[in-house]
Structures are given as structure tokens and as C-alpha cells.
């Protein structure tokens, strides 16, 4: 069987992306609350691009890049137009530990470099698996912060911010 392909997301992929995301939400609580419009949630404001890992019509993984807010950028001392915020990264529950998230993350970080930007991300500090994944991928921890969403405990999420490797 051919390896899953990392390719740009097309608008017609969105229903299958939302379906894969629902399984992730049920297993991992990501996102914490199921959005009223998951396809809109997969298309954040100031989006720069989105990619999927696909096995023919089956969506196995997803990642997006967006320009962060000026507030976020100022907190890590970089101009927002030089940054690309990685988000909406997930791999379908049955497709994990095969390197798909690593491939998606590398792809997104390279797409950012190609646009003269540096990829950054924020991860829920309590998401131990995701934190381990980013550290294994060689991303550099910058700082702790408070995320712009409410965590499962009803308090503002505590996040860890990471910067992509230079190459
Ligand atoms: C985190 C996530 C994207 C990883 O996807 P994946 O395709 O399984 O990751 P990879 O196979 O590329 O993992 C590469 C390495 O990262 C580390 N890693 C990945 N998942 C891990 C976990 N749950 N616990 C500890 N280490 C992990 C391992 O070192 C792994 O290498 P190995 O399998 O040889 O041990 C996936 O578990 C997921 O979708 N989680 C829910 C959504 C989420 O938390 N997204 C991030 C939001 S910020």
C-alpha cells in the first residue's frame, strides 16, 4: 500500500477532516469542547495554509498555519508577519505512532520557512503526549503562558510555547 500523502487541504476535504477530528475529540479531548461548526474551527482566522495526510479519500491527519496575533508575537519578541502559528494538528486515532504527525509538522515548518517565517506553536501544558511529541521533534521551549481558551478544568488553559528548529 502506498504511504499516506501529505498534500494541501482542499475545501472538499473539510467534511472528512471534521470526521477524523471527532474521533480525536472523543479520545483525547482535542479540542476540549466540540465546536458548533467544526469546519470553521479547522479554518482559523489569518490562515496561511492547511495540509492533510491522506490515504486516497481517507483523511489520517491535519495541520494548519496561521499568522499569530500581534499580542502573541510581542510576547515572544518576534514581529507577527515573520511568524506562522502551527495549529489544528491531529492524527486519526487508528493512524498514530507511524510518523504522520512528524511528517505534517515538518511540512508545515518548511512551508513557513519558504514564506520567510518561523513556525511557532502553543500546546496545552497538560497534554503530555503532545508535549513529548514536540520535544522529540526538536522544537525549542520558549515560555509558559495562558492560552486563549478554557481548559477541561474550567480555567484558562496553561500553555507551553515552542519555536521550530531553524532547518
Ligand atoms: C500528538 C499527536 C499529533 C501525535 O501524532 P502521531 O502521528 O502519533 O505522532 P508520531 O508518530 O509522528 O510521533 C513521533 C514521536 O513523537 C513522540 N510521541 C508521539 N505521541 C506521543 C505520545 N502520546 N506520548 C509520548 N510520546 C509521543 C514519540 O517519541 C514518537 O516516536 P515513536 O513512536 O517512535 O516513539 C497525536 O497523538 C494526536 O493527534 N493527539 C491529539 C491531538 C493533539 O494533542 N494535538 C496537538 C495539539 S497542540
HSE (side-chain half, CA atoms, 13 Å) at 106: 11
52 in contact with ligand 1, CB cutoff 6 A: no
- Is 91's C-beta closer than 6 angstroms to any atom of ligand 1? yes
pTM of the model: 0.96
- Hey, whose CA ends up nearest to atom 19 of ligand 1? 133
Three-state secondary structure readout of 51-109: EEEEECCEEEEEEEEECCCHHHHHHCCCCHHHEEEEEEEEECHHHCCCCHHHHHHHHHH
Architecture of domain 5-163: 3-Layer(aba) Sandwich (3.40)
Instruction: With a cut of 60, say whether residue 155 has pLDDT above it.
Output: yes
Between residues 151 and 46, the one the model is more confident about: 46
Q: How confident is the model at residue 5 (pLDDT cuts 50, 70, 90)?
A: very high
Pocket-testing residue among 24, 85, 129, 149, ligand 1, by greatest number of atoms within 8 A of Cβ = 129
Question: For residue 48, what pLDDT band results from cuts at 50, 70 and 90?
Answer: very high
Q: How confident is the model at residue 1 (pLDDT cuts 50, 70, 90)?
A: low
What residue segments make up the domains of the chain, in order of their start? 5-163
Residue nearest (by alpha carbon) to ligand 1 atom 35: 97
Q: Which atom of ligand 1 is nearest to the CA of 92?
A: 39
The answer to whether residues 70 and 82 touch, using CB atoms and an 8 Å cutoff, is no
C-alpha of residue 89 to centroid of ligand 1, in Å: 10
CB 122 within 8 A of CB 131: no
Candidate from 51-65, 74-88, 103-117, 146-160 with smallest mean pLDDT? 146-160
Amino acid at each position: 500500500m502506498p504511504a499516506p500523502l501529505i498534500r494541501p487541504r482542499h475545501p472538499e476535504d473539510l467534511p472528512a477532516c471534521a470526521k477524523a477530528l471527532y474521533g480525536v475529540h472523543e479520545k483525547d479531548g482535542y479540542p476540549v469542547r466540540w465546536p458548533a461548526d467544526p469546519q470553521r474551527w479547522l479554518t482559523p482566522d489569518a490562515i496561511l495554509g492547511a495540509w492533510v495526510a491522506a490515504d486516497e479519500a481517507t483523511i489520517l491527519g491535519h495541520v494548519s498555519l496561521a499568522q499569530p496575533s500581534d499580542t502573541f508575537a510581542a510576547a515572544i519578541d518576534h514581529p507577527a508577519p515573520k511568524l506562522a502559528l502551527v495549529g489544528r494538528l491531529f492524527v486519526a486515532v487508528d493512524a498514530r505512532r507511524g510518523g504522520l504527525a512528524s511528517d505534517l509538522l515538518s511540512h508545515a515548518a518548511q512551508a513557513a520557512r519558504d514564506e520567510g517565517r518561523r513556525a511557532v506553536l502553543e500546546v496545552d501544558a497538560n497534554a503530555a503526549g503532545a508535549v513529548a511529541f514536540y520535544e522529540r521533534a526538536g522544537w525549542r521551549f520558549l515560555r509558559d503562558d495562558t492560552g486563549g481558551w478554557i481548559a477541561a478544568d474550567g480555567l484558562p488553559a496553561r500553555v507551553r510555547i515552542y519555536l521550530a528548529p531553524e532547518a
